[in-house]
Structure 1
Amino acid sequence: MKSILVAAAVSLVVSILFTPYLIRVFSKQGFGQEIREEVQKSHSAKRGTPTMGGMAILVALWAGYLVTHLTVSEGWPSVTALLVLGLTTALGIVGFLDDFIKIRKQRNLGLNKTAKLVGQMVASVLFAILALHFADRNGITPASDHLSFIRDITVVSFGIVGFVIFAYIAISGWSNAVNFTDGMDGLAAGTAAMVLASYVLISFWQFRYTCGAGQQIGPTCYQVRDPLDIAVVAAAAMAGCVGFLWWNAAPAKIFMGDTGSLAIGGLVAGLSMTTRTELLMIVIGGLFVVEALSVVLQIGVFRTSRRRLFRMAPFHHHFELAGWAETTVIIRFWILGGISCLFGIGLFYADWLAAGAV
């Protein structure tokens, strides 16, 4: 527990203090956000607001994790945590390139779709392949080639190739879903903080009830590798998002940009695979799912009927164009995101209670 608290405290302080430094530097360099034409009227005042603030979250995440291992955690950083951190950083780099091109070319489009997908593919494939290796003394690898809900569903096995494909779909899907959600001040950062807080609880609970060496595998224990270190990563990321939210809350002084949204999406995807909760993540990250689905449905309906299902996608803009104040949309969506997280945690705990009753 001490390592989780230290990671969160260090990350929070770094994020709160480093973000205003980025605001000054990016403002001086003219690294301002371009605004989509469809929302120019309501968001015109935001044009020029510094972007790429996701760098603060990444720096805070690494600082919280490394300081924890240098001070209170015993042993070396775990393979599982380093894989998740590597995936998060790799997607953050892809997002940074996307943001940088937008700024340099003064447009709302950065990397083309092919380049972004290739970047996501390289990061996903490397993570998936490595995550199926490095077994611990109990033979447990960082990830499993079985599909999982709250535990592995043993009857659904991907195999190595299938898991690599699945990991790519999951990682690109979640990174794009968070990216779609990042359209209003603090919406993505606040929602991500709640999702990551959920994974602090889940991974710490798994640590408390991990099947130990020589222990008979039972329904009340979890076959996961390095759950405590994963809790440290989730705690550092959560606090990094909270610290960033201090400056990103409406009216935002800085945006996370694709640097932050792609990184956070990769992080939650990595957490879901290393904690064996891939399907449960759909519940916990329900708001991200709805935002992504709204884009898919909007495109699908328009291409088939030439009509728009929503006033605008992603979904949060639909309510904004319907007359809701931006802060009203943000707070209500935070409430929905919180409900999704609580429901997901409830399902996780109910499974444990049911397993203990067997």
Structure 2
Amino acid sequence: MSERLVMAGMLALIITLVLGPFLIPILRILKFGQTVRDDGPKRHLKKTGTPTMGGIIFLVGIISSALFCAEQPTSLEMVTLVGITLGFGLIGFIDDFIKVVMHRSLGLRAYQKLIGQFGLAFVLMWISVHWLGRGTDLSIPFTSVHLELGWFYYALISLVIVVMTNAVNLTDGLDGLAAGSTLIAGLGYIVIALLAAIQGVAVLAHETDMAVFAAALVGGCLGFLRFNAHPARVFMGDTGSLALGGALASLAVLTKSEFVFIIVGGLFAVEALSVIIQVASFQTTGKRVFRMSPLHHHFELEGWSEWKVVLVFWTAALVCAILGIAAYLPTLS
């Protein structure tokens, strides 16, 4: 098993590292360049024109590696992980294409993205519950309590999936921040998937393939950091960030750790919360709580260097991943 995990991570890493130098110039030639907000940190203006939609690079690495290294690559479990990841990536790709290629600044409208995202969330849950035997019970982190939710499971967890997937998207605002944070969350999910396999709480008989998928996720993100770390040569765009969110959400559902996902991805949750707080405060009082949201921009405007923000946030992501694993352990009893 350990050999397949290492192979999955290494293969995704190698494929991503090899594809980057070929695809980045193509994205530049096609003029798939990033547009930078002029109301943000002024030092970001020099990033204007940096190729975006680079999520394609690591998606090829992650999916190819996961399918090649999986014990059962055609199992419904693996097909679901791959399909949902690509589904969210497709929504992001369409949004990027409209903004970057068609030069329509808004991209997909919010309701269009939400329809697609909630649709994918429902598909993920329906397959997991009705075809993979996941059930509709929910584990409460740090406890051995399991609540049977019935149909309410679909309403609650679809909201968790969509919010957390968009939270990953919101985190993608600094060079290497989303890729590095997802890498760390992916490491957490390697452990969680292995624990689920050992205890027999995950779906179907090929639970270890989820750990393989998580390892490929880690390898792909690590390879992408070669091109995305400051100063970034390419951005992942919504194509990449929504796909990464979808991958983590899929792992959460299939390992029955949906609420634990909020802890493992605590950095993403805080980033999303900062946006919600900022909007709510401005709409109700006309005042802003943060200098700018998401939260990483607040610290930039406070004078932190981009690298300092990223390193501190990566450290926070690591703490969240460790806490998430600790929160998951009692749910196995």
In the TM superposition, 1:68-107 aligns within 5 A as 68-69=69-70, 73=71, 75-106=72-103
Structure 1 range deviating more: 228-237 or 162-171 = 162-171
CA 1:117–1:301: 2 relative to 1, 3 Å: same
Find the aligned partners of 2:73 and 2:222 in 1 and give their Cα distance. 27
Deviations 1:90-114 (A, max 9, x none): 0000000011111124354211111
1:60 and 2:61 matched: yes
Among 224, 235, 251, the residue aligned to 1:255: 235
Q: Whose radius of gyration is greater, 1 or 2?
A: 1
| SS of the residue 2:106 aligns to | coil
Find the aligned partners of 1:262 and 1:58 in 2 and give their Cα distance. 11
Counterpart amino acid of residue 10 in structure 1? L
In the TM superposition, 1:291-310 aligns within 5 A as 291-310=271-290
Counterpart amino acid of residue 35 in structure 1? V
In the TM superposition, 1:152-231 aligns within 5 A as 153-154=145-146, 156-159=147-150, 161-210=151-200, 222=201, 224-225=203-204, 226-231=206-211
On the 8 A contact 1:152/1:276 being kept in 2, the answer is no
CA 1:350–1:153: 2 relative to 1, 3 Å: closer
Counterpart amino acid of residue 323 in structure 1? G
Unmatched tracts of structure 2, length 5 or more: none
Deviations 1:64-96 (A, max 9, x none): 012214xxx3x4532122112111110000000
Unmatched tracts of structure 1, length 5 or more: 136-140, 211-221
Q: Counterpart in 2 of 1:118? A: 115
Q: CA deviation at 1:20?
A: 2.1
On the 8 A contact 1:286/1:340 being kept in 2, the answer is yes
1:145 and 2:136 matched: yes
Structure 1 range deviating more: 15-24 or 257-266 = 15-24
Q: Give the TM-score of the pair, scaled to structure 2.
A: 0.94
Q: Give the TM-score of the pair, scaled to structure 1.
A: 0.87
CA 1:184–1:276: 2 relative to 1, 3 Å: same
Q: CA deviation at 1:19?
A: 1.9
Find the aligned partners of 1:195 and 1:258 in 2 and give their Cα distance. 18
Among 306, 311, 314, the residue aligned to 1:331: 311
1:313 and 2:310 matched: no
On the 8 A contact 1:91/1:262 being kept in 2, the answer is yes
Percent of paired sites with the same residue: 38
On the 8 A contact 1:78/1:229 being kept in 2, the answer is no
CA 1:233–1:223: 2 relative to 1, 3 Å: closer
CA 1:15–1:157: 2 relative to 1, 3 Å: same
Find the aligned partners of 2:297 and 2:102 in 1 and give their Cα distance. 25
| SS of the residue 2:77 aligns to | helix
Find the aligned partners of 2:224 and 2:189 in 1 and give their Cα distance. 19
Find the aligned partners of 2:224 and 2:52 in 1 and give their Cα distance. 12
Q: Counterpart in 1 of 2:13? A: 12
Find the aligned partners of 2:129 and 2:47 in 1 and give their Cα distance. 44
Among 273, 282, 295, the residue aligned to 2:253: 273
Q: Counterpart in 1 of 2:125? A: 128
On the 8 A contact 2:67/2:73 being kept in 1, the answer is no
On the 8 A contact 1:101/1:111 being kept in 2, the answer is yes
Find the aligned partners of 1:17 and 1:53 in 2 and give their Cα distance. 13
On the 8 A contact 1:50/1:255 being kept in 2, the answer is yes
Alpha-carbon RMSD: 1.8
Count of residues in Structure 1 that have an aligned counterpart in Structure 2 = 330
Find the aligned partners of 1:149 and 1:224 in 2 and give their Cα distance. 18
Q: CA deviation at 1:152?
A: 7.8
Structure 1 range deviating more: 273-282 or 296-305 = 273-282
Find the aligned partners of 2:202 and 2:91 in 1 and give their Cα distance. 32
Find the aligned partners of 2:43 and 2:32 in 1 and give their Cα distance. 21
Q: Counterpart in 2 of 1:215? A: none
